[in-house]
A and B are shown apart, each in its own frame.
Chain A
Amino acid sequence: MSKLVLVDGAKGHTGSFLIKEILESKPNWQIIATDLPIDSRKKLMKKETIFSSELKQMDEFLIDPRVEFLPTDLTKPETLEALFQGRKYDFIFHPASLYDYFALLDILREINVEGIRNLLELIIKTQDLKKLVFVHWSTCGVYGEPKYEKDLRGYPIPADERAPYDPPNYYSISKMEQELVLKEYVKEHELKSIIIRPAPIIGPYQTYGAYHILMMINKLGFAPGLHIYPKKKRLAMPLIHIEDLVRAAVFLAEDERAIGEAFNLVINPCLQEDFLEYLGTLLNTDYINIPILWPLYKLLSKILFWIANRKEKKARKLDSRPQIDLSMAGYMNHQYHFSNEKIKMLGFNFKFPDYDDVTKDTVEWYLGNNWLESDY
């Protein structure tokens, strides 16, 4: 059956993969794609070219006859009106956000929080709310580090979607506020919505986020495998492959049972040390196994976090950016362990369910396309 869908953030990493997924799997869907005009986007998305000007997003799908691209700005409601004139959407996918850990809270609020408010305001006025499903992109970061329940051996049990909000950084705060705005509209106008909370996204064409881990290990020349003792303190590595993320979004949009629910999107539980060891192998770097006691690890990570904090302050002063954004350094000393059982219960099958599938696909793409330096 023919459907009309709106995808915002269409030139971003997630948006472009979402359009590709729809074009490939839904031959009857028509897509209205939107993003910032080129100049504004370049100005705002400094993170996309800060580490290499050769990195680019995948936007060749925008010229497909089933896709109509309309440039808009979420912070300017008047530009959004063109999206809704004479159109009744079946699905609206809202991945558009400023995902930048270096951005200050004011700009994040302006784009992410006020942006969704502007969008929802127009949706309420122009769309058929009985038909429309609004799929909103949030983040697992809204949970921060939840208080985990423990199994009989004292190991943490992955947190599910009922964990309370406790965002640890500006970006996650803005995503939490986005969710709250959406919930307000859902309550008042009975808007059908689905919230997806992806773990750090990994996959081809990524220029920011988990990409940094690949870039860092490649630059370091070795993967530091800190084996924490006691074992129950070992840190998890939450990830989601971009293809699974967009497949899940389309899957959920079509499933009535998902309406009004939130879903974590994360691979099966994996430890940082296993991920790093495998990454080291794929990147042809050494893997250094360092056993360390938890209190010592905490101390070390706090020192590194302090250094990262100083570097961020210095970079701001010099109008630049640090090599690693401070919030990313936070992954060193926080346990982010989330469950993907809820979406699996609905029948969703991950194409890349484990860390090795995700990592292999991504690293091979990066090396094959020379996005990571290598001798070959």
Chain B
Amino acid sequence: MGFVSSIIALFILGWLNSYLYRKYLRKRNKDWIAFLAIISIGVFWILDCLIYFDVLNMTWLNSLPWINIPASGSGRYFLWNSFMVIGLHPNISPQAGMEIVELVLLISYFPWYVVGKLLGKILHGYRTYQQGLYWPFRPTKTVIKKREK
């Protein structure tokens, strides 16, 4: 969770979901691609909103020795500095007027997810019989095994 980390996570999730969809889900129900998008983006939006409004209090992370989240405005502070969990602490203090940037970042979760999904579609294909860019680069041994089947 966090503005930038959510964008990265949703990009990767979009990619992963498009692979899962082609490989396992499309043959069961073609609507899975929409379900996955709603679930993934919805979860991130809801969690980030809960953190933003301090409904989910992230100060419990202060138990980790390298984390120091201030008691007031802890949600906004965490969303800007979420990489501190892995030791990267840019120490961005939310200021008045940054709400617009926060809103834009929050809205951008959707297009970033879509970009990840499109990349997955190109790399792995979209329909069950498609294999995307992976097809011409498959290892020769894999091709032989498939032909033998």
Contacts and interface: CB of A to CB of B under 8 A. Distances in A.
Interface of A: 50, 216, 218-222, 285-286, 288, 307, 311, 314-315, 318, 320, 322-324, 373-375
Nearest to B128: A375
A220 B135 contact: yes
Interface string B86-125: 0000000000000000000000000000000000011001
B122 A216 contact: no
20 contacts: A50-B147, A216-B136, A220-B136, A221-B122, A221-B125, A221-B130, A222-B121, A222-B122, A222-B132, A286-B121, A288-B122, A307-B137, A318-B140, A318-B144, A322-B143, A323-B138, A323-B143, A324-B136, A373-B129, A375-B128
Given A220-B125, A318-B140, A323 B147 contact: no
B23 interface: no
A323 B125 contact: no
B59 interface: no
A315 B140 contact: yes
B57 interface: no
B136 A323 contact: yes
Nearest to B132: A221
The 5 A-B pairs with the shortest beta carbon distances in the complex, nearest first, are: A221-B130, A373-B129, A221-B125, A219-B135, A314-B140
Nearest to A324: B136
Contacts of A315: 140, 143
B141 interface: yes
A375 B125 CA distance: 13
B40 interface: no
B144 A219 contact: no
A373 B131 CA distance: 12
A323 B122 contact: no
A13 B125 CA distance: 31
A329 to B, nearest CB: 9
B78 interface: no
A220 B131 contact: yes
A85 to B, nearest CB: 43
Nearest to A319: B144
Nearest to A307: B137
A320 B132 contact: no
Contacts of B141: 318
Contacts, number: 55
A320 B144 contact: yes
B140 to A, nearest CB: 5
Contacts of B126: 221
A370 to B, nearest CB: 11
B15 to A, nearest CB: 15
Contacts of B147: 50, 320
Given A220-B131, A320-B143, 12 more contacts: A218-B129, A220-B130, A220-B135, A221-B127, A221-B130, A288-B122, A307-B137, A318-B141, A320-B140, A320-B144, A320-B147, A323-B136
A194 B143 CA distance: 42
Nearest to A219: B135
A374 to B, nearest CB: 8
A218 B128 CA distance: 11
A374 B130 CA distance: 9
Nearest to B144: A320
Given A320-B140, A323-B135, A323-B136, A219 B127 contact: no
Contacts of B133: 220
Among B131, B138, B147, residue most surrounded by chain A Cβ atoms (within 10 Å): B147
A84 B125 CA distance: 54
B46 to A, nearest CB: 32
Of A216, A218, A315, most B-chain CB atoms within 10 Å:
A218
B118 to A, nearest CB: 9
Given A320-B143, A320-B144, A221 B121 contact: yes
Nearest to A329: B136
A315 B121 CA distance: 28
Contacts of A221: 121-122, 125-127, 130-132
Nearest to B130: A221
A323 B135 CA distance: 8
A314 B143 CA distance: 12
B143 to A, nearest CB: 6
Contacts of B131: 219-221
A220 B137 CA distance: 11
Contacts of A373: 129
A280 to B, nearest CB: 12
A340 B5 CA distance: 59
A309 to B, nearest CB: 13
